[in-house]
Amino acid sequence: MVKLGLNIDHVATIRQARGGVEPDPAAAAYIAESAGADSITVHLREDRRHIQDRDVEILSGTLKTRMNLEMAATEEMKRIALDIMPHSVCLVPEKRQEITTEGGLDVVSQKGFLKDYIKPFIEKGVIVSLFIDPDIEQVKASGYTGAQFIEIHTGSYAEAFDTMEEGEEFSKLRNAAGLAMGIGLQINAGHGLNYHNVSNMLTIPGFYEFNIGHSIISRAVFVGIERAVRDMKHVLG
């Protein structure tokens, strides 16, 4: 069964809207884990717009499952991550003005840099995942870096869902996943996945985990985090 990673950034987004202490991302993670979430993702952005350093510290001591720390490949983030020692890091491109992570990492143009960047993580036992578009060249370059995982960007598929372009976007995911498995990479997927479009994803073999944030937190506004997580677990089978 494909595992469910819950991204709790948006819990922190609501808290930061007032700059106070509620809602508490650590409490959200606790409830989500009790409801069956298999891991918790937090994205410590350079501009600290939602998750704060203190959240990451607290979660590292309270999570019962796994922490997947999403981050840009900067020296600052490397220092923080190697101090916190999450179960895994997921390297993403980061632009200050973007609303959310817009595209995958360009591994092809910086594969030498990334190979060196991730070395200390792998040596210290932190799993490394590269967030990439479903592109054959990006998959091959990811294999070269030594990362154990890729997370395939499902944003274009999610946008194309229920349109004429859905089939084409879905084929890209299938091909990228197939190649990744062939060269020994483990595969996650995420971005834009929701209760409707995730079912198709289950027909592609090999995925280890789907990382989902916005749709689950949106549903949680109405039904609570526990129910929203249980509902997604139910869809995943």
CB of 12 to ligand PXP, least distance (A): 12
Q: Which of 18, 24, 74, 88 is nearest to 54 (CA)?
A: 24
Q: State which of positions 37-76 bind ligand PXP (CB under 6 A).
A: 43, 70
- Name which position in 25, 86, 143, 192 contacts ligand PXP (CB under 6 A): 192
Looking at the Cβ atoms of 38 and 151, the one nearer to ligand PXP is 151
Among candidate residues 43, 50, 94, 209, the one labeled active-site is 43
Q: Tell me the three state secondary structure of residue 188.
A: strand
Residue 70 annotated as catalytic: yes
Residue 138 as a binder of ligand PXP (CB under 6 A): the answer is no
185: contact with ligand PXP by CB under 6 A: no
Binding of ligand PXP by 191 (CB under 6 A)? yes
What is the per-residue DSSP string for 205-225?
TTEEEEEE-HHHHHHHHHH-H
Q: Which two tokens stand for residue 192?
A: 């834009």
Question: Is-catalytic flag, 43?
Answer: yes
101 lines the binding site for ligand PXP (CB under 6 A): yes
Residue 214 near ligand PXP by CB under 6 A: yes
Which of the following is catalytic: 10, 50, 153, 191? 191
153 is annotated as an active-site residue: no
- Nearest Cα neighbor of 147 from 192, 102, 95, 183 is 183
The CA distance from 45 to 71, in Å, is 6
CB nearer to ligand PXP: pick between 49 and 64: 49
Check if the beta carbon of residue 198 is closer than 8 Å to that of residue 212.
yes
C-alpha 2/C-alpha 206 separation (Å) is: 9
d(CA 193, CA 177): 16
Which residues in this chain contact ligand PXP in the complex, by CB under 6 A?
A: 7, 9, 43, 70, 90, 92, 100-101, 131, 151, 190-193, 211-215
Q: Which active-site residues does the annotation give?
A: 43, 70, 191
